[in-house]
Amino acid sequence: MDNQQQPLRLGLIGFGCVGQGFYDIIRQQPELGLTVARIAVKSPDKPRSLPAEHFTYHADELLNDLTLDVLVEVIDDAAEAFRLVSAALRQGRRVATANKAMLARHLPELVQLEQQHGGTLLYEAAVCGSIPVVRTLDAYFSHEPLRAVRGIFNGSSNYVLTRMSEEGSDYATALAEAQALGFAETDPTLDMGAFDPRSKAVILAAHAYGIFLNPDEVLNLGIEAVGAADIAHAAARGQKVKVVASVQRLPNGRVAALVTPQLLGPESPLFAVEHEFNGVVVEGEYAGPQFLAGRGAGGHPTGSAVLADVLALRRGLRYGYAKRTTAPAVQPAEELELDIYLRHADVGALREVLTWLELPATALRTDVHGVYATGAVPLLRLAQWRDELRANGVFVARRGEVRAGEAVAESRLAAGAVA
């Protein structure tokens, strides 16, 4: 057996959907030379597919077991995940994690720990399930300027929108179905509120542009208030509603990031991404647009990404973060603007929302489904009113891409001239 195939003893922290999927894949491929030697879980009372003697209920035991070659962290507690992963890196250990919320909050610290103590951290499974987008950005596009990385990063919300579009389901029915199939959590806030794809956009920004974003400073608007009228409005124009995460270089060289519902036409490759699938468009300066698609949720698809990381750790692969030394500046939110569509069933409430967003009364429009509004809104104002928009059941979607700098000034002047 050559050095590439030396057996590895794995410590698995977490045995939920992803942990079980990963374990199942390992069991079916003994030729890989991987052994899940120890499994740590939180609760001794939860029913599991393996006998109780397979588990320990203290994850620190795995940290203290130096016979384990690789630690695999797949729990849903971001704070505990950070404690365990950071402790492992301080030991100089090799670690694979799937915890996108933890990474989005702590990636700069984790990279520093990796460099200081000689450990290795890989996390392909944290972004877009089975799609190898992290490694693609970090390796293949490590030295090519990118115009944009955008995509559908959350299979749960995409499933709901697909069911509403294809079957005419209402939001509550489509969400309940997604939950029953295991695509959405009992508390769907992270998925439907676009917090989950925001974390993934933050992670990809580090590899696409070399920048470490604060997730709290990235606008995220969800689909909790989407209704049949919004789906029909888009369909009447040959469009679909999709939740699109975008990290893009602006004409002035700076970078902007946001996650919102967007009205997309068939000219976009994301238009045809349905159900629990994810899709990513990487637009290179020289290579042009590249499109990757695959399952973004589920134990086996995400477990396959965990497996890819474990095998890469055996080969000694590390992320390079090659663009950190030339990272561009982030465009201030107050200098960004979006063209938006918004709707609320109550016309009076919609008029009040226009005042929040500083849109004129002339922004109101009417179609066969009722009253809606369109207009150009500063991104900062949407961020300031995000929670109120969500709490009051206002659906907001963008039309087109974000604008900045002179384009914003010209747009405001044009809007003033029209008014």
How are beta strands 70-73 and 8-13 bridged, if at all? parallel
CA–CA gap between residue 137 and residue 204 (Å, rounded): 8
The rounded distance, in Å, linking the Cα atoms of 70 and 20 is 17
DSSP, res 385? T
Distance (Å, rounded) from C-alpha 146 to C-alpha 285? 5
Q: Supply the DSSP symbol for 216.
A: G
**Contacts (Cβ under 8 Å, ≥6 apart) of 139:** 320
| Torsion, Cα of 258, 264, 266, 269 (10° steps) | 20
Residue 43 has φ and ψ, to the nearest 5°, of -110, 130
Candidates 167, 143, 318; CA nearest to 228 is 167
Instruction: Choose, from 42, 100, 200, 323, the residue flagged as catalytic.
Output: 200
CB contact at 8 A, 284 and 290: yes
Closest C-alpha among 73, 77, 71 to residue 101? 77
Q: What single letter denotes the amino acid at residue 353?
A: V
Q: Which two tokens stand for residue 369?
A: 């489904």
For this structure, is 200 an active site residue? yes
What is the set of active-site residues? Answer: 200
